[in-house]
Amino acid sequence: MREKKKGSSWFKKKSSQERSERTDSKGDLCGKGAQYYKDGVYDLAVECFLGSAEQGNVVAQCNLGFCCYYGIGIGKDPEKAVGWFRKSAELGYARSQFFLGYCYENGCGVIRSYEKAVEWYLKSAAQGEVKAQYLLGDCYYSGKGVSQNYEKAKEWYRKSSELGYEKASKKLKECF
């Protein structure tokens, strides 16, 4: 029997959007993995993501990192997740840059470094990743990895809020 676990709604939404953007053989394999994931057949999803990730597909690398991080279809392995996020992040993929920043902020799979978290959040936020923008706001608000700066915090929360991230809108109302 195939492994079925509760999956992330983010993953299902993102993979279906990005599946349509990829038409090469790497993307086809990644798309198959996304469909398996959506269907709850996580071990086959991981196999497809791995094949595509090894060919250099940044979406598949991110998806595989996600699966390794949460132990979906594969054993939970934060260090391996970081490796896949890093490969994709270094190629400029915003979602992986966000996840890599998150790993650094929380010390998951790497030694905690707020400075490195901010570095990766900045790269991701510059591409419009709303969660990275929000967490940058948190970093500036609390002074984690950067000098505390309420104006910059407000700026990042506002950017995230303007792109529809509800948590950022709430934070703006609470703090400013």
Cα(30)–Cα(159) distance, integer angstroms = 31
**∠ Cα 12 16 20 (to 5°):** 165
Rounded to two decimals, the pTM is 0.85
End-to-end CA gap in the chain:
52
Model confidence pLDDT, tens digit, residues 25-61: 555 899 999 999 999 999 999 999 999 999 999 999 9
Is it the case that residue 98 has pLDDT exceeding 70? yes
Distance set, CA 14 to CA 19, 111, 112, 114, 150 (Å): 8, 28, 27, 27, 32
Distance set, CA 158 to CA 17, 25, 89, 129, 169 (Å): 25, 39, 24, 13, 7
| pLDDT at residue 1 in the model | 41
Kindly indicate the confidence band of residue 175, based on its pLDDT and cuts at 50, 70 and 90: confident
User: SS3 for 160?
Assistant: helix
* Tokens describing residue 68: 């390794």
Selection from 141, 132, 130, 128 nearest residue 172 by Cα: 141
* Cβ partners under 8 Å of residue 1, min gap 6: none
Is it the case that residue 134 has pLDDT exceeding 90? yes
Question: What number is the average pLDDT over the span 17-24?
Answer: 39
**∠ Cα 121 125 126 (to 5°):** 120
Kindly indicate the confidence band of residue 6, based on its pLDDT and cuts at 50, 70 and 90: very low
Domains of the chain: 1-91 (1.25.40.10), 94-176 (1.25.40.10)
Kindly indicate the confidence band of residue 76, based on its pLDDT and cuts at 50, 70 and 90: very high
CB 96 within 8 A of CB 58: yes
CB 158 within 8 A of CB 171: no
